[in-house]
Amino acid sequence: MSHTSRLDAVVVGAGFAGMYALHRLRDRLGLHVRALEAGRGVGGTWYWNRYPGARCDSESLYYSYSFDEDLQSDWTWSERYAGQPEILAYAEHVAERFDLYRDITFGTRVESAAFDGDSGTWQVCTDGGERIEARYLVTAVGCLSAPQSPDLPGAQDFAGRILHTSRWPEEGVDLDGKRVVIVGTGSTGIQLTPEVAQRAAHTTVLQRTANFAIPSRNRPYAEGEFEALRAEYPRHRKEALASAGGFPLPAAPESAEGLDEQQRRTEMDQRWRDGGLVFLGAFADALFNRTSNEAMSEYVRERIRETVQDPATAELLCPDDHPIGSKRICVESGYHAAFNRDDVSLVSVRENPVEGFTRAGIVAGGTEYPADVVVMATGFDAMTGPYLRMDLRGRGGVRLADRWEQGPRTYLGVATAEFPNLFMLTGPGSPSVLGNVMVSIEQHVEWVSDYIAHLEAEGVRTTEPEASAEQEWTDHVAEVASFTFYPEGGSWYMGDNTPGKPRTFMPYAAGMDVYRQRCAEIAEQGYPGFAHA
C-alpha cells in the first residue's frame, strides 16, 4: 500500500556525498530531510566495491572529511592508501557519530522523480512503493555507481559463477583452487588481479586495452607516523584545497621540453619511487604537451619491460594507443609482477573480442577459456548512468534522458535547466572524478547547502539554471577538455565504454581550485545564472 511522506529535502544516496548532505541540511539548516539508499548500509562506492584488493588511490591523509575538527582528530588511518574495509568502517563511524542512521532508508532505490509545477515540489517514487514529496531533490548518486557488463550470450548456460566487481557478495567468494577469468584491466581489474592470483589455481586476464599503472608504494603507517601527520592537518587540508586535484603535488618543471634526458629521468624516478597518482604531475604540461606526455608514457613502458620477464607478455601490457592520463591512470600493487607467475596468463582480446559463455567457460576470438568463476571488472556507465537509470522528469514532464540526449548539460555540474530545485553533487560538468573526490564532495555539499540556505532566507520557491548559463558552462567544460589529451583516450570520461552513449568529456578539467573559485564568485555575486521563482 503506497503512502506519501512530505519532506523539505530528499537526498538520493548515502555515500560520502549523501551522508554529508544529510548532516548539513538537517543539522545546520534545520530542514526535514531523508536519505534514500539502495544498499543496506552507508558508504556508497565503498559499500558496493568489496572485491579483493579494493583500495583508494588517494592517500588516506587526504581522503576523509575535513568539516569536523573532532572527527578528524579522532580517526586514525592504518595505511598510506586505505583499503575498502577500513574506508567502509570510517563511513559507518561517521554515520554513528552524526546520528545519520535514523534518517536514512536503506534497501530503497529511487525509481522516478517528477517535478510538479503547481506545488513546486518533487514527487519521488521508490521501488518499495513509497511516494515522497519534497521541495528539494539532492542527488548524491556517485559518478561510478551504475555498473555495466557486456551483454554476452550463453551466460545462463555457464556452470560457474559470474560476478561484477561492484556487486561483490558481502560474504566474500571462495576463490581458493578455482580457475578464474578476469575481464577488464582498468583500475579495478588491476587491483583485483594480484589478489586473485594468490588464491586461484589459475588466473586468466582478458585485456582489451593495456593501461598505464603506477606502483602505489602502499604500506602500513609506522608507529606514530599517522599521528604526526594528523597533528598538521590544518596545513595538509589547506594544501589540498589549493591544489588542482584535491591533494598537493610536489613542484614540477613546466615541461619535459628543454630538459635533457637525465633531468627528465630524475623527475620521473622521484615520482615513481614515491608511487601513486603524483606520477602524472612529473611535468606540469603532461596532459597537453606531446613531448612531456610521450616521455612519461615511454618511461612507464620501460618499467613494465623491466618487471615482466616474458617479453611478449610485457609488450602486451605496454599501453600503446592513448596518451598517458587521457584514460584514468591506475595504481597497482603487484599487478605487472603477477604475470611472472606460472599460474597467471594474459590474453589480448583487442582483435579477438569476448563473444559469450559456454557451459565450461568464456569464449574470446573462438577460444574457450575454462573457468569456475568469471569476474567482470568491466566498469560503469559513468557520471550520467546513475541519473539516466532513474526516470527523472522536470518542468512540464520533460525527461532528463531527452534533455541530455547529446550529452549532459549542466550549470557548474550542480544543476540543469528545467529541473527546478534539483541539486547534483559531483554531477557531470564538475571536477569530481578528476582528483580526490572527497574534496569535491565537501565543496559541493557546502556550496549547495549555502545556496539552499540563501533560497530559504529569501523566500525563493524554486531555482533553476538559465538556459544561457547552462549553455555557456557546457561549452566551457568542452572547451577546457579540448585543450588536453583527454578526448584522445577511449575512456569512460568520454562515454566511450558505454554503447550508444554520446561522446562528450563529462568532468570539468580546469582544476578543483579554479572551479572552487568560480563557484565562490557566483555565490558572492548573488547566484547569477540561476532564475528564481
Contacting residues toward ligand N01, per CB under 6 A: 55-57, 144, 150, 183-189, 191, 206, 208-209, 328, 331, 349, 354, 377-380, 433, 492, 497
Nearer to ligand N01, 187 or 410 (CB): 187
Q: How far is the CB of 492 from ligand N01 (least distance, A)?
A: 5
Give the Cβ contact number of residue 163 at 10 Å.
18
Nearer to ligand N01, 64 or 497 (CB): 497
Residue type, 520: A
Q: How far is the CB of 333 from ligand N01 (least distance, A)?
A: 10
Nearer to ligand N01, 376 or 452 (CB): 376
Nearer to ligand N01, 23 or 322 (CB): 322
CA angle (217 as vertex; 213, 219 as ends), nearest 5: 140
> Using CA atoms, how far apart are residues 12 and 44, in angstroms rounded to an integer?
11
358 by DSSP, 3-state: which? coil
Nearer to ligand N01, 36 or 144 (CB): 144
Q: How far is the CB of 3 from ligand N01 (least distance, A)?
A: 38
Cell numbers of 420, please?
Answer: 527546478
What distance lies between CA 481 and its chain's CA centroid? 18
Cell numbers of 360, please?
Answer: 565450461
In terms of Cβ atoms closer than 10 Å to its own Cβ (0-12, 13-18, 19+), residue 306 is: exposed
Q: How far is the CB of 243 from ligand N01 (least distance, A)?
A: 17
**At which residue does the C-alpha cell 614540477 appear?**
252
> Which residue number has the CB closest to ligand N01?
186
Q: How far is the CB of 347 from ligand N01 (least distance, A)?
A: 10
* Maximum distance among all Cα pairs of the chain, rounded to whole angstroms: 73
Q: Which of 199, 530, 148 is nearest to 377 (CA)?
A: 148
Q: How far is the CB of 311 from ligand N01 (least distance, A)?
A: 22
Q: How far is the CB of 276 from ligand N01 (least distance, A)?
A: 10
Q: How far apart are the first and last CA of the chain?
A: 35
At residue 155, φ and ψ (nearest 5 deg) are -55, -35
Nearer to ligand N01, 490 or 529 (CB): 490
Q: Which of 161, 164, 123, 122 is nearest to 147 (CA)?
A: 164
Strand partners of residue 134: 7, 122
Nearer to ligand N01, 64 or 185 (CB): 185
